[in-house]
Structure 1
């Protein structure tokens, strides 16, 4: 928890415990949860506080080996072939061995993560794994089990020291059990009101305490509503920055309506909340906090 705190990340004890175990036992950590709750930030904080290189693989539909693992530098290979032909080289087998070696290999994130440097093994962030296809997910099994990658033309490349692996998922689809079995697992939930208030204090020092409490209580009330996308911690921080930029000292219905676009990301959600519903939620917030009394 102290390590994360040094990186301005406010964690609860269960998250800190599973992270400690993953680091101590050399196991990948699989973090699942809604978007914006701070899963990706954990890998960034680890890399920063431990002084390690961060290698990030941003997943998307159709991600393949050439983009994630390696590919050959075909232009350099063709140039090498032409130079060899111009020099009168006729040994095709020897030429094939010359062009399929590490000089012509372009390392993508997964292969980069197997190479340690003087700082130690890097932090490998496999972000939003649920966006990829199942065949790529299956490819990861060898990497996560043995921290090695097999390249047919060269052979198997193994990590001398396993990287620190953080995998995130927003659960847009279920990730296969075979991959989860190779990892420690933790569900990153929305924080409690007190922890979210502490996050604002740590990440945005100087915000008025009363305004911070109004913001956090309002966001927690929003999370009880039936919205397409509930605001995460990232949206709470964005909204707080927006309000302080506008020199807001206290939430009012007008201020809430004007800034909902920094908190909610879908027009249907904004239309559902703005106006009378926003005023109703704010009245509930002020009643809970005793704002305006006495």
Structure 2
């Protein structure tokens, strides 16, 4: 059942927890203010720390449609905003010619009507919806080019899009906008000024255990704590790509599928590919280094003897 918009920071924390998302208070505060004041929320951080998941949880808990724009190099207006259905337009022209209807002005008006318009994510997000304004996720904005970033700045300023053949489309109610970036390049200050900003960092051990418990409640707590402790140790190593929360959850699922009750050197070496995504990193950790880290984890997580 959809929940109402949160009325406080505490209510925002509860809203996210309802979607099994464990957020620290500073993130919940940024999200609450963005929702309350109708501003986009710009989230930066390493890949896999849970930025994209916030938009998904908001869509689920608020009962709003999720409109996702996955960014990539070369993304243009035709892919992000709208384009005309050229195949259907050509067919309409052929049919008009066959029937002898060759009035150019009438034909141009007919083929540039809404039935020939293909709506892409940004345009979809401005259209009214019975469930309320949608959640617009603009994912990995840092992968796009600067010209598209400049176009997006214009859209987010007034929540409107101009289509020369049809006019201006304005949002009756602005969408809830979540923008994410992995910071592979800097986003222009002008766009950041339109948003509230929050850096999503790797969680501390206690909160990461909470995240694992919220998402995977069937996993034994002792194993969850051991997994998180090992991942926290890995993040202190000089690796090409540190594991994020997404990798922690993947590894936990994998170990649970294998019916592991505790971490061992053998199971770590066999399953590192679910946690680390580069062969150089795997080779560096496998074997003696994994054994050393596991030994430190066992010392830290072993119950005190009374």
- TM class by shorter-chain length? over 0.9
Shift of 1:293: 6.5
Task: Tell me, in whole angstroms, the C-alpha distance in 1 between the residues paired with 2:259 and 2:93.
Answer: 65
CA distance 1:255–1:90, shift in 2 (3 Å)? closer
Pair 1:211-2:223 in alignment? yes
Task: Tell me, in whole angstroms, the C-alpha distance in 2 between the residues paired with 1:268 and 1:284.
Answer: 22
Task: Tell me, in whole angstroms, the C-alpha distance in 1 between the residues paired with 2:99 and 2:261.
Answer: 77
Partner of 2:8: none
Tell me which of 103, 109, 113 is aligned to 2:115.
103
Partner of 1:241: 253
Task: Tell me, in whole angstroms, the C-alpha distance in 2 between the residues paired with 1:237 and 1:82.
Answer: 55
Task: Tell me, in whole angstroms, the C-alpha distance in 1 between the residues paired with 2:304 and 2:243.
Answer: 26
Partner of 1:71: 83
Partner of 2:44: 32
Tell me which of 273, 276, 284 is aligned to 2:296.
284
Task: Tell me, in whole angstroms, the C-alpha distance in 2 between the residues paired with 1:233 and 1:257.
Answer: 20
Tell me which of 9, 12, 15 is aligned to 2:27.
15
Count how many residue pairs are aligned between Structure 1 and Structure 2. Answer: 294
Task: Tell me, in whole angstroms, the C-alpha distance in 1 between the residues paired with 2:259 and 2:111.
Answer: 62
Partner of 1:171: 183
Tell me which of 93, 98, 101 is aligned to 1:81.
93
Task: Tell me, in whole angstroms, the C-alpha distance in 2 between the residues paired with 1:93 and 1:50.
Answer: 46
Tell me which of 32, 40, 57 is aligned to 1:45.
57
Task: Tell me, in whole angstroms, the C-alpha distance in 2 between the residues paired with 1:85 and 1:260.
Answer: 64
Superposed, 1:253-268 pairs within 5 Å as 253-268=265-280
Superposed, 1:135-154 pairs within 5 Å as 135-154=147-166
**C-alpha distance after superposition, 1:95-115 (max 9, x if no partner):** 212211211100011100101
Partner of 1:128: 140
**C-alpha distance after superposition, 1:111-159 (max 9, x if no partner):** 0010121110000101111111111111101211100111122221111
Pair 1:4-2:16 in alignment? yes
Shift of 1:87: 2.8
Gaps of 5+ in 1: none
CA distance 1:207–1:292, shift in 2 (3 Å)? farther
Shift of 1:290: 2.1
**C-alpha distance after superposition, 1:189-208 (max 9, x if no partner):** 00110000001111001211
**Contact persistence 1:113–1:123 (CA under 8 A):** yes
**Contact persistence 1:214–1:285 (CA under 8 A):** yes
How large is the RMSD of aligned CA atoms in angstroms? 1.3
Shift of 1:3: 0.4
Pair 1:232-2:244 in alignment? yes
Return the TM-score normalized by structure 1: 0.97
Task: Tell me, in whole angstroms, the C-alpha distance in 2 between the residues paired with 1:110 and 1:180.
Answer: 18
Shift of 1:291: 5.9
**Contact persistence 1:286–1:292 (CA under 8 A):** no
Secondary structure (helix, strand or coil) at the match of 2:233 reads helix
Task: Tell me, in whole angstroms, the C-alpha distance in 2 between the residues paired with 1:196 and 1:152.
Answer: 50
